[in-house]
Structure 1
Amino acid sequence: MAEVRGRDTWTEELASLIEDSGVRYGGDSPPTSFEVHAPQSESGESLKEQALGFVMAWCEILMELGRGFRDILRQNLINEDSYVVRKFGGPCSKVSKRLRFLNDFLPEDRDPFHAWSVVFFVFILALAAISVDPNREAVAPVVKVRQHPPSASRVLLPDGRYMAYHEQGVLADTARFSLVAPHSFLSSRLAGLPGVKASLLEEYGIRLVTYDLPGFGESDPHPNRNLNSSAMDVLHLVNAVNVTDKFWILCHSSGCIHAWASLRYIPEKIAGAAMLAPMINPYDPHMTKEEMKRTWEKWLPRRKMMYSLARRFPKLLSFFYRKSFLPEQHDEIDKLLSVSPGKKDKLVTEEPEFEEFWQRDVEESVRQGNIRPFIEEAVLQVSNWGFDIKELHVQKKCQTRGILLWLKSMYSQAGCELAGFLGLKHIWQGLDDRVVPPSMMEYIERVLPEAVIHKLPNEGHFSYFYLCDQCHRQIFTTLFGTPQGPVERQEETATAFEEEDKEEVLQVPV
């Protein structure tokens, strides 16, 4: 009986372990044979569950291992006495304080550490996806960047640098008006007034002098340039190329920051300014909140990021600029400048004539293969200029030091003088401009009420400046009035009339 009970107990225990797995025994006699009935689906599910349990167990082990490493790091490396904290704690704290302004963009209920970790991870993934995009070359035709032989005239500046320049129009000794034009970002001396006809310049007697900024085109780089040195470069250039009278300064877009500097530092040499879509510092503290908001909302996120990096971490621009501006192939203009052109700008930039002009200008601007001038230019746009645009406002300043001088100024203007830029300031602004938004023009109009503002409906950033004969004629007519030709032509005509009068006198019978 005991043996039977043992066999029964052993059988019952085995059956309870395998839970009716399909093993059958005959009666109470010892099992001499058995059959296994194991459905395929049940076997597959069991294996899946085992694999899942195995993976979960390993995950738990790794999590515990990670917690262990974290505790070790906290106890040995991230305490106040550790070498890592003593070595890198100060710099990390400074960087953290400088980046703290980014927390304002997060919702109040989000932990900055967790949120920015996710943002950084997603940014890296997006950057990697953009870098390996297989369809990028298929979107636009491939145009190789060409190398051109030197073609500029150059002058030696007092500090030993050479500045490259280009002349158009009439000669120096016959010019009725002289125009000096600094170029904008990602451009060169070849831009000037894009597509202006030589016959139009001669009709108005204009001599147009354009030059390369330091490090662009064929101009030598400046070791420590700012807007003051930029104005001095213009002064040395006009003296070297024999501009004896006052000259007009012509600028477009970001090139106008150098025009603003010239109006501020060498106003006695300038007759007036012609500015098309003039750039101002987007961080100008004198802009109202509404003006600043309407300025920034017009820009693409990439352009906003570039301005932010230029202001706070300019060294990081090297990676983006080197990839964008110094490739072996041209890219589309909206990608190079991080802009979204309006309707009219899009039509203009798609014209073959514009593409050819733009490509040649870009090729000239990057001919030195150095990214530093571009970074310097971006930093100049968003940093402290050393002056405010409102300082150019024409106003009376009287000597009021002392009670007697103050009382005298109350009743007499003898001790007063005009301050600011006294010449003419003409500004043309396209109302559909998405590179330099109209809100910048409104700010200029507010702080410089004497400036003449020409608002251009439906015009964009490029449409009124590039390859537009009618636009160029309108600009010259606004600045100079009726065309009178070169000075020499008028003198020759007067001399011819005098000779005719003499001949008539000689022919009269005595």
Structure 2
Amino acid sequence: MFLQILKILLVILLAQFCSWAYQNTLPPPPKKLGSPDGLPLTSQRIALRDGRHLSYLEFGVTKDVARSKIISVHCFDGSKYHDPLAAFASPALIEELGVYIVVFDRPGYGESDPDPNRTVKSLALDIEELADHLNLGPKFYVAGFSMGGQIIWSCLKYIPHRLAGAILISPVVNYWWPNLPSKLTNEAYSKQLKQDQWSMRVAHYLPWLTYWWNTRTWFPSYSIIAGNPIIYTSADVEIITKVLGAMPPNQAKLITSQPRLQGEYESLHRDLNIGFGNWEFDPMDLENPFPDNNGSVHLWMGDEDLIIPVTLQRYIAQQIGWINYHEVTGGGHMFSCANGVSNAILKEAMG
């Protein structure tokens, strides 16, 4: 009798433990946006076909006089306020080139609604829908920085017919893209911080654990989420310090708080799962979207980037013959925010 009772108690305890463990892997719902009882909205939004909203900001010349229209995609842990082209390109050059730039909060970031069904493809379709809502015409440019740069590959795959050109700035590389040589990826992967190696492994192999992994105090979370400064070069730190130091305190607080406004899961953790998950295509299998030379694709990379391995970026550029590859000597991950770099990027793309 005693053994039977003990077995029953053990089963009950195991069931309770499994229930507790499962509940701890579930992320909390995102914070609500808008009235009457949600977070206040501070910028314009459009409604998409599925009922979600995208928040955006416009820069440069007005649409009706623009010769070039760019939809720019922000980085990991960024927002519509984090765009190197809009923030650092010379207003005089933007005027001279006739450039209009729209930057939007990606789903779950800032003031854009989350997309629980988000995929590698879905954001490219969101970008196309944004362009149509804003009446940008049949062709427009896309640009993206870091994780936003990785998303430009999706645009080249799924909406190439809508593109006038594309700019990838320090785009994130997925170590599991099948066309990357394993020897090269293993070498590059081994040089990443241990905490990032583990976070990327979890995102790739156990995506349902990403929230739990990155919110436990006994596990080191992804370095950008944790705010580990070791991922930045001295040049990066100098750029970041200069940029934030030039802002009024209230503006700096707004910009730094925007990315995680709704919580970390729908923004950061879902980004990790998609960016390092199993993709439906490999960028190196893409066909040239501009076979008639009526557009161009430019990839910019710093050769001292500590976040994105330059060795993998070089290999990708070598395999894609129609990519215009630009490597900045001494450039870290934030090189595009240095004086004059955004001007050079725009001149190359619009030239």
Tell me the TM-score range normalised by the shorter chain. 0.7 to 0.9
Q: Figure out how many residues of one structure are paired with residues of the other and give that number.
A: 314
Q: Aligned with 2:336: secondary structure?
A: coil
Measured after TM superposition, the shift of residue 347 of structure 1 is 2.2
Give the distance between the partners of 1:308 and 1:221, measured in 2 at CA.
Answer: 24
Question: After superposition, where does 1:161-180 map in structure 2 within 5 Å?
Answer: 161-180=52-71
Distance 2:82 2:243 in 1: 16
Superposed displacement of residue 426, structure 1: 0.7
Q: 1:354 to 1:314 in 2, by over 3 A?
A: farther
How far residue 198 of structure 1 moved from its aligned partner, in angstroms, is 3.2
| Alignment gaps of 5+ in structure 2 | 19-38, 218-222
TM-aligned CA deviation for residue 370 of structure 1? 5.0
Q: Which of the pair has the greater relative contact order for Cα pairs under 8 Å at 6+ separation?
A: 2
Equivalent positions of 1:21-420 (< 5 A) are: 149-193=40-84, 194-319=87-212, 321-322=214-215, 335-336=226-227, 339-351=230-242, 353=244, 360-369=254-263, 371-394=265-288
Amino acid at match of 1:344: A
CA distance in 2, matches of 1:333, 1:439: 21
Q: Please say if residues 109 and 266 of structure 2, whose CA atoms lie closer than 8 Å, have aligned partners that are also in contact.
A: no
Query: d(CA) in 2 for partners of 1:204 and 1:419?
Result: 24
Over aligned residue pairs, what C-alpha RMSD do you find?
A: 3.2
- C-alpha contact 1:264 1:392 (8 A) present in aligned 2: yes
Q: Displacement of 1:223 after TM fit? A: 2.3
Aligned mates of 2:111, 2:297 — CA distance in 1: 30
Residues 407-452 of structure 1 deviation map (CA, whole Å, 9 limit, x = unaligned):
xxxxxxxxxxx98998411111100001111022122123212211
Judged with a 3 Å threshold, the aligned counterparts in structure 2 of structure 1 residues 334 and 314 are, in CA distance, closer, same or farther, namely closer
Identity %: 26
Q: Secondary structure at the match of 2:345?
A: helix
* Alignment-mate amino acid for residue 298 of structure 2: H
Structure with the greater alpha carbon radius of gyration? 1
- SS of alignment partner, residue 269 of structure 2: helix
Cα distance in structure 2, aligned partners of 1:320 and 1:239: 39
Structure 1: which 5+ runs fail to align? Answer: 1-71, 78-82, 92-147, 325-331, 396-417, 482-510
Provide the secondary structure at the position in 2 that maps to 1:219: coil
Instruction: Check conservation: 1:186, 1:362, Cα contact below 8 A.
Output: no
Q: 1:256, 1:358 → 2: CA distance?
A: 24
Q: Contact 1:393–1:421 (CA<8 Å) still a contact in 2?
A: no
- Partner SS, residue 340 of structure 2: helix
| Deviation per residue, 1:107-128 (Å, 9 max, x gap) | xxxxxxxxxxxxxxxxxxxxxx
Higher helix share: 1
Distance 1:420 1:217 in 2: 39
CA distance in 1, matches of 2:230, 2:240: 12
Q: 1:200 to 1:430 in 2, by over 3 A?
A: same
Aligned letter for 1:345?
D
Which residue identity lines up with residue 269 of structure 2 in the other structure?
A: I
Q: Is 1:433–2:305 an aligned residue pair?
A: yes
In the superposition, the TM-score normalised over structure 2's length comes to 0.80
Q: 8 Å contact 1:178–1:243 — kept in the other structure? A: yes
Q: Report the Cα distance in structure 2 between the residues aligned to 1:186 and 1:421, rounded to whole angstroms.
A: 35
Q: Does 1:473 align with 2:343?
A: yes
Relative distance call for 1:429 and 1:239 in structure 2 (3 A) is same
- Go from structure 1 to structure 2 and tell me whether the alpha carbon gap of 1:214 and 1:149 turns closer, same or farther (over 3 Å shift): same
Closer, same or farther: CA 301–470 of 1 in aligned 2, 3 Å: same
With over 3 angstroms needed to count, the CA separation of the structure-2 counterparts of 1:361 and 1:385, relative to structure 1, is farther
Equivalent in the alignment of 2:35: none
- The whole-number CA distance in structure 2 between the counterparts of 1:206 and 1:283 is 36
